[in-house]
Every structure is written in C-alpha cells, then in structure tokens.
Amino acid sequence: FQTGRLTAMVMWICAGALTFGVVYTGLGASELIKEILAGLPLGPFGILILMQLSFFVLGAFLDDWAILFICIPIYLPVIISLGFDRVWFGILFIINMQMAYLTPPFGYNLFYMKGIVPPSISMADIYRSVIPFVIIQGTGLAIVMIFPQIVLWLPNLIFGG
C-alpha cells in the first residue's frame, strides 16, 4: 500500500510538472526567461553554473523526472541560444542528479543504503560517509563542464559533429 501511495505521489508531481511545462511553453514564457538570463552579467558559463546549482538544489527535494519536466522547458531554449551542446547539457544534468541522489534530506541512495547496513549504523553515519563521494562527483561535474570534449568525443565520432 505504501509503495502505491509513494508511486502515485511521484506521478502527480510528474503530471503537474508536465502540465506546467505545456502551459509555460504555450504562454511564451521561455522567451521571457531567455531574455532575463541573457541580461544577467554572468556570461554564458555563469548562466550554466547557475542552472547546475538549481539542478543540485532541486535534486535534494524532487525526483529527477519531475526536475526534468519542470526545468527543461525553461532551460533548453536558453542552452540553445547560448550555443551549448544539448547532449553535453544532458550529461551534466545526469551527473547532477546522481549527486542529488547522495545528498540529504531526500537522497534516495542513502535510504537504500540504510536498508542494507547493520542497525548499529545511523543515518548520520551514512550522511557523513557520502561526503567524499559528493565531492568527487562535484569535481567530475566541474571537469566535464570545463572540458566538454570528454563526453562529446564519442557522439561526435559516431554522428559527426
């Protein structure tokens, strides 16, 4: 019963996010957001970092599909207008979601881990133990952001780019 309730909750979030995306796009709000972000004194890379930070914060509270449905209608036109590669941006999103799965308060992987460790290990112990992994993944995210060729060489080789 609890699994069905949790699944229904996630589905409602996804349905609401999808509805938001359709209404958002239909009203032309993506153009407004694109103009606002273009007007910020951050430059293209600063805007990209801002987007990644928003993914990380949202990932602490929402499922990755909900974030995808909410943010992609907003961010994709901006990414295209800034001239960034969409595959690269998608990979940055995936790396970010993996980091979010390791961060409290709703780090899914942390709760999976709690289910398999001995009862003597507390959630606080698990939270502390994932800090090095989050730092490593954050470093990997920064490297992929700085050197997009790391993740784009194979798609470019296969599909030409």
Q: In terms of C-beta density within 10 A (0-12 exposed, 13-18 middle, 19 or more buried), how is residue 49 classed?
A: middle
- Give this prediction's pTM: 0.77
For the segment 41-98, what is each residue's pLDDT rounded down to a tens digit? Answer: 888 899 899 999 989 888 888 878 878 877 888 888 889 888 999 999 999 999 999 8
The angle subtended at Cα 78 by Cα 76 and Cα 79, nearest 5°, is: 65
Gap between the Cα atoms of 39 and 64, Å rounded: 28
